[in-house]
Structure 1
Amino acid sequence: MPDVTTEVRTVPLADGELRLSWAEATDTGRRREINQDAVLTLYPLFVVADGMGGHIGGEIASSRTIERLRAVAETGEVTAHTIEAALEKAVQDIAAHPGATDDGTGTTVTGVFLDTAAGDPHWVTLNIGDSRVYLVRDDDLIQITTDHSVVQELVAAGRLSPEEAEHHPYGNVITRAVGPSEGVVPDYVRLDLVDGDRFVVCSDGLTKELTDYGIQHFLSEHADPAEAVEAMLAAALENGGRDNITIIVLNVGVSSTEDDGS
């Protein structure tokens, strides 16, 4: 089990303060020889990438994508435009790498960022592939992203139930990825800034081993992000750890100047 710690950042708002706390972990799991997942938690961007491809192709695809996004986060100017420009560069990196030219090489990229570029600050989720962003708001767990997978398309068409989808033989087949042959624009979802929200960003190594109910259970048991990440990772490993597992938990606290009477 990796060491997991909670980081905290306070962000001034026009009428108050935003307090963020987060933790992340990535683990090879019990069945894989290498970890093809990669993770980025650099305010204002929180992203998971799950690589795929023979030999080391998946590891290259996920790591190059994360490094390109890291460069964007370091500028502080994280928008849909800068993210898409970074993904285009990642596609070029992957295509140019001799170890990432096998058919099927690519990576998911899924996460959330705080958009402060215009108007009121708000969250934006981004997604390519079948890693996921969940939101807990008012004690309800909601899957914000929609999987880009063969199974999800069958569910959406009414040809497969969600229960059948969990054990479908094509469960690992995704329909969109960041790969060496094409650039893909993420799906985006805008979310208001709400006090008490909690985000989970994870690769499918977690959701293969824990149901949505299980994720919500561990979040409710552990308010601290690091403790929640550790508990979910331990449970996923105990349940089989069939794939690489990567988890981010992000807590959101919003206070206004009116709250302290000023």
Structure 2
Amino acid sequence: MDYATHYDVGDRKRDGGINEDSVAVSVFEQGHREGFRGYDREDADGAESNDDQAGAGSTGEDPTGEDSTGDRPGDADDGGDDDPSGSDRDPDNRSAAVFALADGAGGHDAGDAASYIATTAVCEHLAGTAVEAARSDPAGFGVAVDEPLAPPPRDEDLESAVAEAVVAAHREVLEYAAEAGEQAHATVVAGVVVGGYCHYGWVGDSRAYVVNAAREEILPLTTDHAVVQRLREAGEIDDVEALVHPRGNEITRALGGSGRADPGTATVDVETATVPLYREDVLLVTSDGLLDAQTEAAKLYEWYVDADRDEEMAAVVRDRAVTDDEVREAVLSAPSLADAAERLVDLANDRGGKDNLSTILLHDGTLPATPADPPARAAGARRAVEDRETLVEQD
């Protein structure tokens, strides 16, 4: 599994500001028997290259100090699981990852501490869950092992584990706030990637996306817990207004608080979901600083409303703000995950860099190819009936 991270204080805060974002990634990589043989592909100038020496993918620790530079999805040919002898076989490796990204709420005393606590606490709570989930399926290696392994967890089990980890982080932030006598709030997106699925949860307006090279699309996996999202859902503003709305910095849900709540029993509402991942996918997690980068947002909003929301002014707003389509193009056109992460930060800073911004990108080239008719994965999509597990409640 390849991953890359990037984070920046933002151009507007570069003189004297602090970065209140925090990111964390933990990858479990397991190989067995012959080992992973890599993928043959043609690079941009037509020369063949092979990723054998990278094993199943970089985990972000490069001797040069640079972020992970795994090949972007879409470069692999359709025979990604072919071995060098020409016979198809499953790769003898598998990956699991835990990720967390948090954005400390600006204007409060300790947003940076809140985001740090959130990401480290979440990954600490979930790392064992990810390894246990991967380990529970030895059949992938053709190994017959039952006891003492736990049965593979259901989607609901892993979503619950993510929610419990986020609540545990919430309580740690509250405990810190009480001891420090400060306000400490943060948003968070966190999850477990294992067995070809991402099980994730979020609080606030940091976001997760899937960018798919085979279909050249970007799919939002989260919906903001924010005032602007409520206004959109109520039909009070349109999508263009949402890009530059004056209340774009107001969230309706966050971790932490003032510390007045009992850290031992406090809870927070964590929204969760599960989606399948494919070989051509990049999982992108980002703070709102990427999308809410325009320093002239209030002026653009006023111009758009005064122009009676006509399409000409809408085009001006889209051109100056950061849109999902631009994020998609930045990821798909980059030669590596590290380059994509850097391009996204540059894009936000070019549009004003109003806030701290951070990104996590993950890609697993050992997964199956994107099907011709993939299931709906965007936020709010209902799972197909055949994908739902039947549960029997015992009396």
Please, what TM-score do these two structures have when normalized by structure 1? Answer: 0.81
CA contact (8 A) 1:130 1:204 kept: yes
Measured against aligned partners, the alpha-carbon deviations of 1:180-201 in whole angstroms (never above 9, x if no partner) come to 3452232122111322111110
Measured against aligned partners, the alpha-carbon deviations of 1:36-60 in whole angstroms (never above 9, x if no partner) come to 1110111211221011154541111
Q: 1 CA distance for matches of 2:169 and 2:345?
A: 28
Paired residue for 1:133? 208
Secondary structure of the residue aligned to 1:207 is coil
Q: 2 CA distance for matches of 1:158 and 1:232?
A: 30
Among residues 14, 19, 37, which one is paired with 2:21 in the alignment?
A: 37
Q: 1:80 to 1:197 in 2, by over 3 A?
A: same
Deviation at 1:90, TM superposition (A): 2.2
Among residues 129, 144, 147, which one is paired with 2:221 in the alignment?
A: 144
Deviation at 1:115, TM superposition (A): 4.3
Q: 1:255 to 1:165 in 2, by over 3 A?
A: closer
Q: 2 CA distance for matches of 1:53 and 1:207?
A: 16
Measured against aligned partners, the alpha-carbon deviations of 1:77-111 in whole angstroms (never above 9, x if no partner) come to 48333333333332232222244633xx3111114
Paired residue for 1:211? 323
Structure 1: which 5+ runs fail to align? 1-19, 257-262
Q: 2 CA distance for matches of 1:235 and 1:127?
A: 24
- Is residue 51 from structure 1 mapped to residue 135 from structure 2 by the alignment? no
Deviation at 1:255, TM superposition (A): 5.0
Measured against aligned partners, the alpha-carbon deviations of 1:112-131 in whole angstroms (never above 9, x if no partner) come to 42245xxxx52123211111
Paired residue for 1:232? 344
Q: 1 CA distance for matches of 2:275 and 2:4?
A: 21
Q: 1 CA distance for matches of 2:329 and 2:208?
A: 16
Higher deviation after alignment, 240-249 or 172-181: 172-181
CA contact (8 A) 2:170 2:268 kept: no
Structure with larger Rg:
2
Q: 1:149 to 1:234 in 2, by over 3 A?
A: same
Residue 125 of structure 1 aligns to which amino acid in structure 2?
Answer: Y
Deviation at 1:76, TM superposition (A): 4.0
Among residues 172, 179, 186, which one is paired with 1:93 in the alignment?
A: 172
Secondary structure of the residue aligned to 1:205 is coil
Residue 286 of structure 2 aligns to which amino acid in structure 1?
Answer: C
Equivalent residue runs for 1:6-85 within 5 Å: 20-32=1-13, 33-43=17-27, 44-54=97-107, 56-77=109-130, 79-85=158-164
CA contact (8 A) 2:170 2:267 kept: yes
Q: 1:96 to 1:52 in 2, by over 3 A?
A: same
How many residue pairs are counted as aligned between the two chains? 231
Higher deviation after alignment, 199-208 or 175-184: 175-184
> Which protein has the bigger strand share?
1
Higher deviation after alignment, 188-197 or 50-59: 50-59
Q: 1 CA distance for matches of 2:328 and 2:162?
A: 29
Equivalent residue runs for 1:182-221 within 5 Å: 182-209=266-293, 210-221=322-333
Q: 1:54 to 1:46 in 2, by over 3 A?
A: same
Secondary structure of the residue aligned to 1:34 is coil
The CA RMSD measured in Å over matched residues stands at 2.0
Secondary structure of the residue aligned to 2:167 is helix
Among residues 153, 156, 163, which one is paired with 2:230 in the alignment?
A: 153
Q: 2 CA distance for matches of 1:80 and 1:108?
A: 18
* Percentage of pairs with the same residue: 30
Paired residue for 1:7? none
Structure 2: which 5+ runs fail to align? 28-96, 134-157, 294-321, 369-395
Higher relative contact order (CA 8 A, sep 6+): 1
Q: 1 CA distance for matches of 2:233 and 2:353?
A: 28
Residue 213 of structure 1 aligns to which amino acid in structure 2?
Answer: D
Measured against aligned partners, the alpha-carbon deviations of 1:109-164 in whole angstroms (never above 9, x if no partner) come to 11442245xxxx52123211111111122211111110110110110011110111
Q: 2 CA distance for matches of 1:81 and 1:111?
A: 12
CA contact (8 A) 1:58 1:100 kept: no
Q: 1 CA distance for matches of 2:225 and 2:185?
A: 13
Equivalent residue runs for 1:160-199 within 5 Å: 160-180=237-257, 181=261, 182-199=266-283
Please, what TM-score do these two structures have when normalized by structure 2? Answer: 0.55
Paired residue for 1:244? 356
Residue 207 of structure 1 aligns to which amino acid in structure 2?
Answer: L
